[in-house]
Amino acid sequence: MSTSHIAEIISSNRILAALSRPQHRFLFSSLQSIHLPRSKVLYELGDQMSHSFFIANGMVSLLAVTEEGFATEISMVGNEGLIGVPALLGVNKAPYCVQVQIDGTAMRVRTDILVGEFKRGGPLQDLILRYEHSLISQIAQSAACNRFHSVEQRLGRWLLISGDRVKSNTIRLTHEALSHMLGSTRTTVTEAANSLKLKGLIDYRRGNIQILNRQELERTACECYRVVTRELGHSLAA
């Protein structure tokens, strides 16, 4: 992979793009570019987080998992953030399952190196702490969303956030994957998707979902989309 392509991947992650390379020379020299294929599990619940991942493109889900194997999404991570935050807070075991939902790329680094750079303070620590605040806000909002909003509203929110993460109105996801993300049965998700399709808001075929009318989809989705988007914007702009 060429140096220019590596630089492009690095600049795609909003945390890395905001850092000075000379100031964090050791961190940048330790980064490795990797492909994140769809459905790849980066960490199971309780795994040691030996590596952290700055997401450049695509999308990764944080999943709460029950003993019976049921899963529901509690947050998403795209190019605004990283996987490995718990280790920076002194807990090096994954408190959730981490799975790639939309394939992409990331810059991987050994977690002990990232922890050492984080403890130096400065811009990296500040950026990660602000990102952690937005991540906690997303998780809190997801709890309220899963309790009070309909599957159709949550599906609209999920599609909008996914589109934002991949910067496209076309999202490669199956109904089965969506059912895991929404914590609902495949039949229920299909009914919600059919409703959005009949309203002319989305179209889907062969694992591809296309947002046709984003403005109306935003009206249909619950307010959680606006809350999460606003909070993330504030955290990264601060």
Q: What integer is the mean pLDDT of 155-183?
A: 85
Percent of the chain with pLDDT over 70: 97
The burial class, CB within 10 Å (0-12 / 13-18 / 19+), for 98 is buried
| Size of the chain in residues | 238
CA distances from 104 to 49, 226, 234 (A): 20, 25, 25
CA 206 to CA 225: how far, in whole Å? Answer: 26
The neighbour count for residue 227, using CB atoms within 10 Å, is 17
Are 86 and 93 contacting, i.e. CB atoms less than 8 angstroms apart?
A: yes
pLDDT for residue 15 is more than 80: yes
With bands split at pLDDT 50, 70 and 90, how would you rate the model's confidence at 1?
low
Q: What is the pTM of this model?
A: 0.90
Query: DSSP letters along 41-60, please?
Result: EEE-TT-B--EEEEEEEEEE
Per-residue pLDDT tens digits for 96-149 = 999 999 999 999 999 999 999 999 989 999 999 999 988 988 888 888 888 889
Per-residue pLDDT tens digits for 178-235 = 887 787 888 998 899 999 999 999 999 877 899 999 999 999 998 888 888 887 776 6
Task: Quote the tokens at residue 13.
Answer: 């992650």
CA 237 to CA 131: how far, in whole Å? Answer: 10
CA 173 to CA 190: how far, in whole Å? Answer: 12
Q: Which residues pair with 29 in a beta bridge?
A: none
Comparing C-alpha atoms, which of 180, 182, 213, 181 is closest to residue 196?
Answer: 213
Q: Which residues pair with 76 in a beta bridge?
A: 61
Task: Quote the tokens at residue 124.
Answer: 């990296």
Please give the angle made by the CA atoms of 227, 61 and 47, to the nearest 5 degrees. Answer: 130
